[in-house]
Amino acid sequence: MKTFRRQITVVLVGCAVYVLALGSQTYVTQALLQFLNGEENVFHISSGYWLLVLMTVSSLVAVCALNYLFFLASRIGANMRSLTMSLVYNKALKLSSSARQEYSTGEILTLMSIDTERVFTAMVQGPWLVMGPLAFVVSCVLIGMLFDFYAALAGAVVLTAVMVASIQQGDRIAELQKKLLGVIDERVKVTSEALQGIRVMKFYAWEDSLAQRVEKLRVKEVSLLRQFHSYQVINTVMLFITPTFLSGAMLGVYVLIHHTISIVEAFTLVAMVNISRAALNQLPLAIGGLSKVKIAYTRIDAFLMSSEVSTQPALHSQSGEANSLLLSADAINESTKTSQGRISIRGGDFEWPANAIGADIVVVTPAGVEKQHAGNRDNALEDRTPPLNQQSFQLKKVNLEIESGSLVMIVGKVGSGKSSLVNAILGEMPRTSGVLEVGGRIAYV
């Protein structure tokens, strides 16, 4: 928000100008009605043409302010969406091994597509969150000044009750949205796993089982979507008819106190209530967008706080000098010992963190026999010793020299540490001691 502080300030000023221009229209409307009835108006203007000019100017100011503030809001939202997508994308390239176990490809895709889009939508709908309450306050103040305090108070009571109910409904919508995003993540994850393991799935003829699994998730997703949109419709209808109830309550209280109302007063009172009509009609969408973006930012913040592949500081051997930083652009420029394209490891010790050992195990079984094998699967996982949180894979006393331009292959039996050695060179496996020098940048092919 600090990056767009100036633009957001302009949007807020535009909201105030729009509401004040609408408020001035009510005065002009009252003056026109008084002119038609041959009465003295508040502007003391005896020419109807000048009153029409004032009405045109106030309408033009309101329309221009509204269009300009939404143009700015759309541009800010697009920039915020692009920046958020860039942050998520860059973070996905820097995730550590333990963080990659927490976030599947489907979850990251959901963050990049759905959550970032909600940032844009919330920013576009955000001005209504300001104009709605502001327009209502202005209309109540004008009614209290020009007509009766109790009529304005009746409208305030009605709208306060409606807003409390709308906020409670918004909390329910946010809770359903949170559950819905979890189901969407699970569905995308299952689909991604199916695409990655398509050969195994076809080999064992598990298409029907996978289809049933996806269908269950889709049924749950549709059920949540139905509840979500039902709550949204209730909230929208409730706020859509609010201006009608406001007009009825204010007119009823005014007539109850004064026992009569003129045509000029009735039309002016309705015009003042209409100041907040458009804002109140759009307010439920803005509240829904705010609920969605709060959940989206919570998810994005949790993702951005995940652990990264760190740029490790230079380590010293027992009798050596400081060497270049691992995978650091500054270190590449400062390195004088390692030639371009050369990799050197001398007495290097590397160790995986305990919580990064072992990836998530995904077992795809036919739907009919899944329950039968559930107990055996749990027993098999429990039989592994030692527990994952008590063991860590290590590479100790690694010495490796790869000259520039060399073609090197790593060969070994299963579990000997081939992938860990590559990850150590890439900087994904933490180095505890020794010297690692990488001359240049690393390209992933």
Provide mean pLDDT across the span 130-158.
81
Q: Look at residue 87 and give its three-state secondary structure.
A: helix
pLDDT of residue 310: 63
Provide mean pLDDT across the span 163-192.
81
User: Are 349 and 397 a contacting pair, CB within 8 Å?
Assistant: yes
pLDDT: which is higher, 272 or 16 = 16
Provide mean pLDDT across the span 114-139.
86
Give the number of other Cβ atoms within 10 Å of residue 104's Cβ.
19
List Cα–Cα distances, 113 to 196, 247, 316, in angstroms. 21, 43, 44
pLDDT: which is higher, 445 or 115 = 115
Domains and CATH numbers, the chain: 5-304 (1.20.1560.10), 311-357+392-445 (no CATH)
pLDDT of residue 60: 92
52-66, 170-184, 271-285, 321-335: least confident range: 321-335
pLDDT higher than threshold 60 for residue 296 = yes
Confidence bin at 444 (pLDDT 50/70/90): low
pLDDT higher than threshold 70 for residue 362 = no
User: Are 345 and 444 a contacting pair, CB within 8 Å?
Assistant: no
pLDDT: which is higher, 368 or 420 = 420
Residues paired with residue 350 on neighbouring β-strands, in sequence order: 395, 431
pLDDT of residue 380: 37
Per-chain mean pLDDT for the chain: 77
**Whole-structure pTM value:** 0.65
Query: Could you identify the residue written with the tokens 């973006």?
Result: 293
Confidence bin at 130 (pLDDT 50/70/90): confident
Q: CA-to-CA distance for 167 and 365, rounded, in angstroms?
A: 45
- Determine the straight-line distance between the first and last CA of the chain, rounded to whole angstroms: 37
For residue 134, how far is the Cα from the chain centroid?
A: 26
Confidence bin at 155 (pLDDT 50/70/90): confident
Question: Which class for 159: exposed (0-12), middle (13-18), buried (19 or more C-beta within 10 A)?
Answer: buried
Give the number of other Cβ atoms within 10 Å of residue 31's Cβ.
24
For 395, the enclosing helix (H) or strand (E) is: strand 394-402
Task: Say which DSSP state 358 is in.
Answer: S
